[in-house]
Structure 1
Amino acid sequence: MLKERIITALILAPIALGGVFFLPLQPFSWFIGAVILLGAWEWGNLAGYEAPLPRITYVLTVLLALFASTYVASSMILWIAAVWWLLALGLVITYPGTVGIWSKSGVRLLLGYLVLVPAWVGLVQMKAYPDSWILIVFLLFLVWGADVGAYFAGKYLGRHKLAPNVSPKKTWEGVLGGLGTVTVVAVIASPYLPFTSLLSLLLVSCLVTLVSVLGDLCESMFKRERGIKDSSQLLPGHGGILDRIDSLTAAVPLFALSLMLLGN
């Protein structure tokens, strides 16, 4: 399993970074859109649809939503995402007590739009900034660093469960380890980022880290209710697309919104 994870990561990382560094804005939006549509295919399964036809239909509706989002102010979509992730926090904390609110397949499909579309909008907005690669790579390192820090801190120090009803292996010590890692990442990267102060950068970095954990927990909650371990078997050793981007779907809109609010 570890060997498969490493091989898959070595293949995916250059593709992702190549898209960030070398693709102009329009092709980049298509590239990210393709990833989001693969995620939509898997989300159809999370919503309870196994047959291809309803899942293909859902993918097409997400494609239409991406197209429609280009006619809506990005700020509005990012604020909607912020509200959704605040609500998602409540759902995760109260799971399984509030599962009746979102257990129906149609509701889960609707929630998929709130997860997938703002992630695309946020990345495309960041790509439009000058020196966009710095911002996007920094965000990727935040999420990856938080994941690595949480893994090792949780493995060797983890005692207190974070959300046992949703993801029994995650611990508060893991969260603190992730925050420590991203603090180091932010301090190292601070000279190259368009933030007016180190304090604002650290605050945004910690917020994005916490929200990325929420994105992971949210997908785990949907998978647990669906009775599956992975969103698919598309990526050997990693599960599906959603299993790889669940943290990013939450982190991207909040990071993009923070940049907008700070005037960067």
Structure 2
Amino acid sequence: MLKRTLSALIGAPIFLGLVYLGGPYTAFLVAVLSLLALLEFLQIGKQIGLVTWPVLTVLVTILWLTSLFTEREEWMLSALLFWFVICLGRLALTYPNASLSEANFNLLAVVYSVVLLSHLYLLRQRPQGIEWTFLTIFLVWATDTGAYLIGRQFGRHLLAPHVSPKKTVEGSIGGLIFSMAVAVVWWRFMGGTSLLTYIILATVIGISGQIGDLFESALKRSAGVKDSGKLIPGHGGILDRFDSLIFALPLVYYGVILLS
């Protein structure tokens, strides 16, 4: 518990500070987190018994991040299409030495660890991006906190017993309630849009964040590992700490675009 607390006290201000500063600071944050998350994802693949493609995945990650930070949207789409063709092409040219599971996993490695996570930068760069980004982060944290507190006190019915023996339906509902409560407080003091919008946003983040958490738990269970890494003392790896945000950030980003 002490390691977990100290990591949070040191890591959270650095993370929030780089998000607050925006621009190249957030770009640096996203680049580091994406590459570390990718390496963790590939390591999980090895634990599962799959052949991973570290050189190819890192190269396409660099291409994607370069396109992202230089605001070349057409390059970003090209990078994704290029990676899709490479994965399927490698399967086609080297089968049966390469399996469909191998190709799918390496494709997903970049999409999940890099493309989804890089929406942190995309959201921060939007008009009023600092407010939307901080709101997303706080709502994810509120969901995690509510799910833990309510689940620990009142949890009786397991939410996904084959994935996580500790997460409960009651905790999940508690996480949603906490997320909505923080959204109401944010609306009360920050305004910016209607209360209904904030409630919808809190619900979307509360649900997607918990699904992201469960997805990463299922991934680790498939590999037979407890944590995705050991980089953050008391927390595990980058994927362990950002699994909820990885799912929530893209939904908020495209939701903001639709509402604009």
* SS of the residue 1:229 aligns to: coil
Query: Is the counterpart of residue 145 in structure 1 residue 145 in structure 2?
Result: no
1:204 aligns with 201
Alpha-carbon offset, residue 171 of structure 1: 0.7
How far the C-alpha of 1:108 sits from its partner, in A, is: 1.6
Counterpart check, 1:31 vs 2:32 = no
Instruction: Go from structure 1 to structure 2 and tell me whether the alpha carbon gap of 1:240 and 1:56 turns closer, same or farther (over 3 Å shift).
Output: farther
Structure 1: state its 5+ residue gaps: 78-101
- What CA distance in whole angstroms lies between the structure 2 residues aligned with 1:103 and 1:184? 44
| 1:108 corresponds to which of 89, 105, 108 | 105
When normalised by structure 2's length, the TM-score is 0.82
User: Partner letter of residue 257 of structure 1?
Assistant: Y
SS of equivalent residue, structure 1 residue 30: helix
- TM superposition shift of 1:63: 2.3
Q: Structure 1 residues 254 and 226 mapped into 2: Cα distance closer, same or farther (>3 Å)?
A: same
Q: Take 1:117 and 1:105, find their aligned partners in 2: how far apart are those partners?
A: 18
Please, what TM-score do these two structures have when normalized by structure 1?
A: 0.81
- 8 Å Cα contact 1:214/1:247 also seen in 2: yes
Give 1:223's aligned residue: 220
Preserved contact between residue 38 and residue 114 of structure 2 (Cα < 8 Å): no
Return the match for 1:164 from 157, 161, 165: 161
Deviations 1:187-218 (A, max 9, x none): 010142532x2112101211111001111111
Q: Within the alignment, does 1:8 sit opposite 2:7 as a pair?
A: yes
Higher relative contact order (CA 8 A, sep 6+): 1
Any gaps of 5 or more consecutive residues in structure 2?
79-98
- Mapping of residues 90-129 of structure 1, within 5 Å: 104-129=101-126
For residues 188 and 173 of structure 1, what CA distance do their matches in structure 2 show? 23
What displacement does 1:104 show? 2.7
The letter for the 1-side match of 2:102 is S
Whole-angstrom distance in 2 between the partners of 1:55 and 1:227: 21
In the alignment, is the contact (CA less than 8 A) between 1:152 and 1:174 conserved in 2? yes
Matched residues in 1 for 2:163 and 2:7: separation?
A: 26
Aligned to 2:88: none
**In structure 1, C-alpha distance between the alignment counterparts of 2:204 and 2:252, rounded to whole Å:** 9
- The code of the aligned residue for 1:18 comes to G
Partner-residue secondary structure (3-state), 1:47 = helix
Aligned match for 1:134, one of 112, 116, 131: 131
Q: Within 5 Å, which residues of 2 pair with 1:66-105?
A: 66-68=65-67, 70-72=71-73, 104-105=101-102
Residue type of the alignment partner of 2:147? A
Q: Which amino acid aligns with 2:204?
A: L
Query: Secondary structure of 2:31's match?
Result: helix
Structure 1 or 2, whichever has the larger Rg, is 2
